[in-house]
Structure 1
Amino acid sequence: MTPTRKGHFIRKAKDITISSTLAFAILASGMMLPGCGSNESNEADYSYEETTYTKGIRSHIKEVKPGEFKITDEETVEIDKAEAIVTYLDGRTETISPAAAKKLIDEEIAAQKDSTQSSSRHHSGYHRSGLSSMLLYGGMGYMLGRTMNNGYMNSFRDRNPNGSAFYSNPGAYQKSQSAYSDVNASRTTRTVTTRPTGGRSGFFGSRSSAKGGG
């Protein structure tokens, strides 16, 4: 997995002293306003922020009772090694990728929204239901909400202020908080600004600047 990115577009109107219609007409015809030098422009700049994370979470989850799970450990890893390792009561071990975790978390969120689900679904999928809660409220949900533009997950996490309840002991919870800080510290935000290069070609140039996260 490559470092994840997310961004949004911001339009900045720069030194516009004429109407948009006239401005575009002038740009389209290649004309220049009186008194404007060849290096001056009334064109619009387009900027967006590109955020990259290099660290992710590896979460260790154990089934302690049928359908009941606890997070036993969480550590910081390179973003392309992020995963959840689940150990079941029967000794089986499963490795869940961030993409698979997102699918389970989305199902958990849908279940929370739908309070009228049938009991048969809970019975047939009890393993996945308990596990998806651990993924949502543990480090995997935190990582996905932060680094992969899945911010909607954060609002569901915020509804459960007692995050430590999902961990096997206070030490595991405290370690997870340190791992979260490491993920945040690995964030770098780069502002990319794109502008028309002039003339009739329609090509765009760009410049960028970077800043670290905290």
Structure 2
Amino acid sequence: MTTPEGRGIGTASTFRILHVSTGNVCRSPITERLTRHALRDRIGDPAGCGLIVESAGTWGHEGAPMEANAETVLADFGADASGFVGRELIDEHVVRADLVLTATRDHRAQVISMGHSAGLRTFTLKEFTRLVRAIDPTTLPDPEADGVVARAHALVQAAAALRGWLLAPTAEADEVNDPYGAPITFFRSVGDEINQALEPVVTALTGVPAHR
């Protein structure tokens, strides 16, 4: 199936989230696996509900494992780090993605520069969080009646519409710093930052708040 913009997708019943960083061994693996972990906590198997979560790197270490400190961070959250394999970002990843969330504005610019009508569905993670917080969840499709895939598509459209109206307080506010080569304490601070940014996003996607 192909969208009106010419972007191919596997099926109308799926929604692909692509997390992008530089090497695909630190930030994007953490974000990918924390997203899956949070989704599983809310709705069970995300793939069973049509949500597919992936990651890649603009200078990705193809076939590489994630950094050991990144695995430790995921273990801290009880998230599964097993089976991860690094990927270098290619056109196919962007073509198939319904939402691209990047670590920094530079990554966002690189994804958009690849074309594929990516501009309206590519945000930095923290930018998307900021926009999602401003969206009234009652204006989104009901996940029970319409499904989380329909809700996810509507959420991306609503966030894109807000982007020009709701600006970041500072340029750095929409970025997640690179912990590559840093000690575990810095990795953990980045993990906390990512986890906090994901919480409202996953809540908005699923309509289910985090378990307390």
Bigger radius of gyration, 1 or 2? 1
- TM-score range relative to shorter protein: under 0.3
Higher share of residues assigned strand: 1
Q: TM-score, normalised by structure 1?
A: 0.25
Q: TM-score, normalised by structure 2?
A: 0.25
Higher share of residues assigned helix: 2
